[in-house]
Amino acid sequence: MQEVADLIHHKLDELLPTPDGFQEDRLFEAMRYSTLSPGKRIRPFMCVTTASLFGVNSDYSTQAAAAIELVHAYSLIHDDLPVMDDDDFRRGQPSCHKKYDEATAILTGDALLTYAFEILSMDSTHLDPHVRVELVRVVARASGFSGLVGGQMIDLLAERKDVDYTEIVRLQRLKTGALFVTSCDAGAILGKASKNMRNALRAYANNVGLAFQITDDLLDAEGTREDTGKEVGKDAKAGKATLVSSIGVDKAREQAQILASQALDHIKIFDRRAEPLRDLAKFVVQRHS
């Protein structure tokens, strides 16, 4: 995972604009600040690792993975805003709106999201235009009202009313799970994988995404800011609906383990080359940050 994270960091550093005496340098600084901050790069790891199953050129997969990471960075910037989740820290450093200001944070998120699609449309992402169009389609779907944005809307509404277990799962599938699924799907698209293989990888990623979110909620309930790099205990204070608040800590932890186990079942069709994906499913429920 660290090897892929280093590759993605280098690719992002190469792709992102550099301040160079322009009036919009503050925007460029904020884009780099938010995107190049330390992170596990799990979504890019899923994209690159999945693509490797099909022998995809690493230049293609790292570029597509970098675009997905830009979408993720945009979502974190906007989620942290006072009108959303109102978080002052992210990855152990001040959130974008605290480091700069709210207007700059909004523009930075907008710039990262739109730049992601510019990158996906480049010939250097894949020579086949049909592959590039499919990448744009699935990333757009995961980023919009059928994914991140829709999930965030439900999340905001959930603070004002009681939601049941099924509604919480749907919220998490959209807000968190959609980009996990798309990360694996993007690797399969780059490799022109069969429909059956794409479906297996999407099912794997869906379970991993939900397990990741449950672990995130457990860390918010039980972890420390030093471990997580952000404020903890915010879900309970905000009355936010999570599986932890719905079924309790012990059952939530058990559910995360079940999801990780189911994820492994979905990729039994792949050989030992998929071992990093199997390790990832175990890692997401064991992590402490």
The DSSP element (H or E) to which 93 belongs, if any, is strand 93-94
Confidence band of 228 (pLDDT split at 50, 70, 90)? low
* pLDDT in the model for residue 284: 95
Count the residues in the chain.
289
Confidence band of 108 (pLDDT split at 50, 70, 90)? very high
* pLDDT in the model for residue 221: 85
* pLDDT in the model for residue 243: 87
**The pTM is what?**
0.94
Judge whether residue 234 has pLDDT over 90: no
Lowest mean pLDDT among 17-26, 107-116, 148-157, 216-225: 216-225
Q: At what angle do helices 42-53 and 178-190 cross, to 10 degrees?
A: 30
The DSSP element (H or E) to which 66 belongs, if any, is helix 58-79
* pLDDT in the model for residue 104: 98
Rounded to the nearest angstrom, the gap between the alpha carbon of residue 145 and the centroid of all alpha carbons in its chain is: 16
Judge whether residue 233 has pLDDT over 70: no
For the chain, the maximum distance between any two Cα atoms, rounded to a whole number of angstroms, is 54
Judge whether residue 236 has pLDDT over 90: no
* pLDDT in the model for residue 283: 96
Judge whether residue 224 has pLDDT over 80: no
Enumerate domains of the chain plus CATH numbers: 2-286 (1.10.600.10)
* pLDDT in the model for residue 229: 63
pLDDT tens digits, residue range 122-158? 999 999 999 999 999 999 999 999 999 999 999 998 8
* pLDDT in the model for residue 240: 74
Judge whether residue 97 has pLDDT over 80: yes
The DSSP element (H or E) to which 89 belongs, if any, is strand 89-90
Pick from 31-45, 159-173, 225-239 the range whose average pLDDT is largest: 31-45
Judge whether residue 267 has pLDDT over 80: yes
Assigned token pair, 135: 């990448």
Give the CA distances from residue 59 to residues 70, 78, 117, 160, 197, in Å, rounded to whole numbers and listed in that order: 17, 29, 17, 46, 22
* pLDDT in the model for residue 232: 66
Judge whether residue 238 has pLDDT over 70: no
* pLDDT, average across residues 39-58: 97
pLDDT tens digits, residue range 69-79? 999 999 999 99
SS3 218: helix
pLDDT tens digits, residue range 158-197? 877 788 889 999 999 999 999 999 999 999 999 999 999 9
Higher confidence at residue 235 or residue 261? Answer: 261
* pLDDT in the model for residue 258: 96
